[in-house]
């Protein structure tokens, strides 16, 4: 009998796919880990990893931060829902995948698998992955209200808009990657937000360029800080350590080193044997967001008064 020509990773992926199809592994069930797959099938870890990657690409499994890899929600068979598929459904599945696994997991093939259709079916709605990601981001930004009460004080308007943007980026950590500060996508929903934020600042009487700079700075504060949530999820998945555990491993030896503390007296005042933060420092991104927003708006208010006092209307 001739030896099978199918590579080992493909045979393993086919077997795991069969278990999912036959409901030996039901939606939400944990998928065997890379090490478990390697032991069961007697292959190297790299081969097991490649097999699981096939399942992810086909949308059969998803990886959730801190939860591991599980069987994805069951969809219809390929081609079954093609006539009913809508752009909204495609984007909703893609967003759900990005929320659970990160933007790298999103591909035309993986999204088609979640929708229960052939990959070519998606090209009726988007041109390629780049177009898909842009549409995903626009849909997410478009789901936010971003309301502005023009009669309210400027500061409460700006705070409300920034907090809504923060909530959106907290719920969809991958979103910030679509809006780098120097090359933001001209998405209609992002432009709508920017227009309303500019409107909230209009009463300050800032020079035109400064007016626009402040709105960019506020947007960057939200997006830049929120990006750390996705980075932390990735770090936890890679290391198995929480940020607190990692920080303890990195910094506790230094804090206990008298020579280190002698060389850094201001750290010693906070974290040394008689420091004011002897219990350590627990970073809270929510607190940092509120602190940064307050400090920025305080600065904008002070700047507005100085500009008004000087009568500077330049750009």
Which CATH superfamily hosts domain 75-143? Answer: Homeodomain-like (1.10.10.60)
| pLDDT score of 82 | 42
Is residue 112 within 8 Å of 119, Cβ to Cβ? yes
**What is the third-level CATH fold of 1-74?**
Arc Repressor Mutant, subunit A (1.10.10)
Assigned CATH class of 154-240+284-310: mainly alpha
Question: Secondary structure of the chain in the HEC alphabet?
Answer: CCCCCCCHHHHHHHHHHHHHHCCCCCCCCECCCHHHHHHHHCCCHHHHHHHHHHHHHCCCEEEECCCEEEECCCCCCCCCCCCCCCHHHHHHHHHHHHHHHCHHHCCHHHHHHHHCCCHHHHHHCCCCHHHHHHHHHHHHHHCCCCCCCCCCCHHHHHHHHHHHHHHHHHHCHHHHHHCCCCCCCCCHHHHHHHHHHHHHHHHHCCCHHHHHHHHHHHHHHHHHHHHHHHHHHHHHHHHCCCHHHHHHHHHHHHHCCHHHHHHCHHHHHHHCCCCCCCCCCCCCHHHHHHHHHHHHHHHHHHHHHHHHHHCCCCC
Rounded Cα–Cα distance for residues 178 and 108 (Å): 17
pLDDT computed for residue 67 by the predictor: 59
The number of C-alpha atoms within 13 Å of 206 and in the hemisphere containing its C-beta is 21
| Contact indicator for 70, 30 with CB cutoff of 8 Å | yes
Instruction: Give me the pLDDT at residue 72, please.
Output: 80
Alpha-carbon distance of 109 to 88, in angstroms, equals 17
The most distant pair of C-alpha atoms in the chain lies apart, rounded to whole Å, by 92
Residue extent(s) of CATH 1.10.357.10 domains in the chain: 154-240+284-310
pTM score, two decimals?
0.74
How many alpha carbons fall within 13 Å on the CB side of residue 183? 3
pLDDT score at 35: 84
**Per-10-residue mean pLDDT for the chain, 315 residues long?**
71 91 82 88 88 86 70 59 76 90 87 84 93 96 91 96 96 91 91 96 94 97 92 82 87 87 92 83 93 97 86 53
CA angle 261, 252, 232 (to 5 degrees): 125
- Measured over the CA atoms of residue 36, residue 41, residue 46 and residue 51, the dihedral's sign is negative
Q: Specify the domain boundaries for CATH 1.10.10.10 within the chain.
A: 1-74
Structure tokens at 261: 């503390």
């Amino acid at each position: 009998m001739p030896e099978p020509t199918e590579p080992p990773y493909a045979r393993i992926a086919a077997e795991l796919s069969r278990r999912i199809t036959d409901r030996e592994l039901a939606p939400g069930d944990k998928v065997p880990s890379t090490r478990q797959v390697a032991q069961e099938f007697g292959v190297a870890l790299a081969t097991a990893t490649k097999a699981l990657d096939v399942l992810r690409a086909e949308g059969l499994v998803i990886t959730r931060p801190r939860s591991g890899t599980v069987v994805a929600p069951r969809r219809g068979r390929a081609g079954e829902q093609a006539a009913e598929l809508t752009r909204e459904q495609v984007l909703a599945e893609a967003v759900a995948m990005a929320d659970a696994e990160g933007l790298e997991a999103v591909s035309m093939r993986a999204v088609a698998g979640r929708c229960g259709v052939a990959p070519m079916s998606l090209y009726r709605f988007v041109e390629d992955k780049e177009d898909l990601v842009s549409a995903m981001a626009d849909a997410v930004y478009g789901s936010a209200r971003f309301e502005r009460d023009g009669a309210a004080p400027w500061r409460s308007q700006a705070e409300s808009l920034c907090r809504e943007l923060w909530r959106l980026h907290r719920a969809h950590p991958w979103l910030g990657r679509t809006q780098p500060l120097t090359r933001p996508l001209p998405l209609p929903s992002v432009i709508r937000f920017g227009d309303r934020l500019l409107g909230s600042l209009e009463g300050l009487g800032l020079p035109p360029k400064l007016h626009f700079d402040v709105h960019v700075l506020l947007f960057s504060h939200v997006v830049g800080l929120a990006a750390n949530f996705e980075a932390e999820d990735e770090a936890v998945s890679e290391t198995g350590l929480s940020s607190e555990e990692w920080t303890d491993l990195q910094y506790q030896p230094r804090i206990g080193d008298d020579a280190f503390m002698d060389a850094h007296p201001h750290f010693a005042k906070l974290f040394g044997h008689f420091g004011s933060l002897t219990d350590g420092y627990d970073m809270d991104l929510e607190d940092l967001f509120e602190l940064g927003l307050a400090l920025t708006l305080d600065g904008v208010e002070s700047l507005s008064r100085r500009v008004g006092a000087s009568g500077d209307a330049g750009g």
